[in-house]
């Protein structure tokens, strides 16, 4: 009776060890940068490796998905891929939409054993609206001692060309005179709710 109990326990240990995975790692990256403008192409890639041996996992199936930046679960991009001989993969380019915000890239690396859950890798990128900057003065010609009002307007421009004032945007401003001397150096001035900000400069009485 004792021998039978020992054999059953030994069999259970062997069965449990069969499902233990050495551990896969899935690296995911976004190129060429993490910040994109609307309608700009986003390239997603990555590499799958065996964490135990450090070797590349070639010929492994995976799925690459891009999730909506508004917190919805809607999938904007869904592609099935296979890692190459070096364990790497590259997704077809995704074109950033007019929705600005943080996009989530979620990839699932499927195990050769269907009973083992897929390994998940993630990355992020941001789609930022195109910015339009306009600098104007209150007139074109000034006399010495006159005050110059410089107005900067900043707008966000979406994929349809619609402009929206960019409020609370920090803008640096430098003004040089005819001789190339720096006369105004404002490292950061902030736009208001209308997307504009103004700064005054007085023309010197004596030329410089």
Total-model pTM: 0.59
- Among 27, 40, 36, CA closest to 123: 27
Tokens of 163: 């402009």
For the chain, what are the domain ranges?
A: 22-128, 130-200
CATH of domain 22-128: 2.60.40.1930
Q: List per-block mean pLDDT (blocks of 10 residues) for the chain, which spans 208 residues.
A: 39 34 83 83 93 93 87 77 96 75 91 91 87 92 92 84 88 88 89 93 77
pLDDT of residue 48: 96
The pLDDT assigned to 45 comes to 95
CB 11 within 8 A of CB 106: no
pLDDT attached to residue 64: 93
Pairing between strand 94-95 and 101-109?
Answer: unpaired
Query: Quick one: pLDDT at residue 73?
Result: 60
- Whether 182 contacts 176, CB under 8 Å: yes
Give the model's pLDDT for residue 4. Answer: 43
Q: CB of 37 within 8 A of CB of 130?
A: yes
CA 195 – CA 78 distance, rounded (Å) = 37
Tokens 């995911």 map to which residue?
28
């Amino acid at each position: 009776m004792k021998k039978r109990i020992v054999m059953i326990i030994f069999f259970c240990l062997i069965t449990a060890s069969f499902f233990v995975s050495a551990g896969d790692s899935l690296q995911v990256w976004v190129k060429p940068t993490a910040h994109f403008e609307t309608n700009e192409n986003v390239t997603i890639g990555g590499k799958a490796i065996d964490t135990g041996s450090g070797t590349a996992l070639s010929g492994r199936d995976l799925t690459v998905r891009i999730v909506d930046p508004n917190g919805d679960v809607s999938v904007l991009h869904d592609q099935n891929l296979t890692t190459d001989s070096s364990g790497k993969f590259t997704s077809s380019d995704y074109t950033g939409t007019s929705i600005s915000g943080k996009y989530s890239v979620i990839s699932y690396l499927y195990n050769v054993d269907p009973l083992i859950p897929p390994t998940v890798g993630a990355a992020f990128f941001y789609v930022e609206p195109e910015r339009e900057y306009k600098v104007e003065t209150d007139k074109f010609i000034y006399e010495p001692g006159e005050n110059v009002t410089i107005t900067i307007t900043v707008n966000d421009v979406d994929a349809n060309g619609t402009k929206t004032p960019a409020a609370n945007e920090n803008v640096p401003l430098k003004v040089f005179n005819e001789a190339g001397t720096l006369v105004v150096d404002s490292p950061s001035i902030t736009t208001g709710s209308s997307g504009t900000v103004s700064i005054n400069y007085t023309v010197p009485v004596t030329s410089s």
